[in-house]
Amino acid sequence: MHATTSIAPELNNHLRHDWTLKEVRLLFELPFNELLFRAQGTHRSNFNPNEVQLSTLLNIKSGGCPEDCAYCPQSARFDTDVTATPVLDLDAVLSAARAAKSAGATRFCMGAAWRSPKDRDLDKVIPLIEGVRELGLETCVTLGMLNNAQTRRLADAGLDYYNHNLDTSPEFYGEIITTRTYEDRLDTLENVRDANIKVCCGGIVGLGESTDDRAELLRTLANMPSHPESVPINLLVRVEGTPLAEAGAVHPFDFVRTIAVARILMPESWVRLSAGRSAMTDELQALCFFAGANSMFYGEELLTTENPLVAADQELFSRLGISATQALHS
């Protein structure tokens, strides 16, 4: 028997917020099949293992961001093909939302490239949230850092989820971003939670981080007072012109391990396959679903990068016997 099998933490279905780095590291070190067995058991205790929640992401305002996130083509500091644009009008957003709903999505996410929106920016976004909600879709936005007054405005508009990723561990964070601190991100998440908006928060695999950094990212998420209701796990999309354009590839098994550990640490959260699916084989995505991923971005484009064709995803679901979640998990 592999040594770590007997000393990795015993798992049960109660939610924990006191994980140690050692415990999380031991999960990452489990034999692959043992880790997936544990993750699948946790998954089945909380979700239908053959259903996946579908979210569609629309870029409602691109480019011109003053931040220096080393992975992001929307930064004004990098020479990429992204052009700065104003916020889309309501008709354009509702047209995209209707198409997403027709294709099976239950959540519609809207992203805008701001460091921190001004109140006049929220004046443009709030009608979009209200309009999408009227279509019967869950709403999510990612707009950058927010203060308490801004999160209250979004809550009053009926926003369901706010996305604000931690990206990586506190220790590695400074290697990727210098224009805002880790604490800035945690403060925004606290403001979101205080406004009773659901939290969507995860990270990126493939930034050059170590396994310990991945463990510490997931530990930070799992040890929040409440687990994020949605946990997107992104595979870095290497974009020409960004500092991480030549970053090394991540072994597929290492990505699956990250999904599995996230599922074990946060049993009741939606764990989402996010950016990077275009570079994944069907076999890799199937392993991710087995490891506990039960949400994904659905649609042919993310903020500025490509995503698998809807028809290809539907064919994959058919082969795997997976259906789209209709009744959302409470």
Residues 6+ apart with CB under 8 A from 167: 69, 173, 176, 177, 185, 203, 204, 207, 217
pLDDT, tens digit, 9 for 90 and up, residues 158-171: 999 999 999 999 99
How would you class 86 by CB atoms within 10 Å of its CB: exposed for 0-12, middle for 13-18, buried for 19 or more?
Answer: exposed
How would you class 269 by CB atoms within 10 Å of its CB: exposed for 0-12, middle for 13-18, buried for 19 or more?
Answer: buried
- Catalytic positions: 65, 69, 72, 109, 140, 200, 272
Which secondary structure element, helix H or strand E, spans residue 324, and what is its range? strand 323-324
Pairing verdict, β 107-112 and 138-142: parallel
Q: What is the pLDDT along the chain (330 residues), one digit of tens a residue?
A: 344 444 566 665 678 999 999 999 999 999 999 999 999 999 999 999 999 999 998 988 876 677 878 887 776 666 666 677 888 999 999 999 998 898 888 999 998 878 888 999 999 999 999 999 999 999 999 999 999 999 999 999 999 999 999 999 999 999 999 998 999 999 999 999 999 999 999 999 999 999 999 999 999 999 999 999 999 999 998 878 788 788 888 999 999 999 999 999 999 999 999 888 888 899 999 999 999 999 988 765 544 455 557 788 888 899 999 988 875 544
Q: What are phi and psi of 146, to 5 degrees?
A: -130, 150
Residues 6+ apart with CB under 8 A from 82: 62, 63, 73, 74, 304
Which secondary structure element, helix H or strand E, spans residue 183, and what is its range? helix 182-194
Taking CA 302 as the corner, what is the angle to CA 106 and CA 207, rounded to the nearest 5 degrees?
120
Report the b/e string of 188-205 with b at 16+ CB within 10 A: bbebbbebebbbbbbbbb
pTM: 0.89
> Contact at 8 Å (CB) between 207 and 236?
yes
> Contact at 8 Å (CB) between 179 and 144?
no
> What number of CA atoms fall less than 13 Å from residue 278's CA on the CB side?
14
pLDDT, tens digit, 9 for 90 and up, residues 36-56: 999 999 999 999 999 999 999
DSSP letters along 204-253, please? Answer: EE-SS--HHHHHHHHHHHHTSSS--SEEEEEEP---TTSTTTTPPPPPHH
> What number of CA atoms fall less than 13 Å from residue 94's CA on the CB side?
13
Helix (H, G, I), strand (E, B) or coil at 278: helix
Report the b/e string of 112-126 with b at 16+ CB within 10 A: bbbebbeeebbebbb
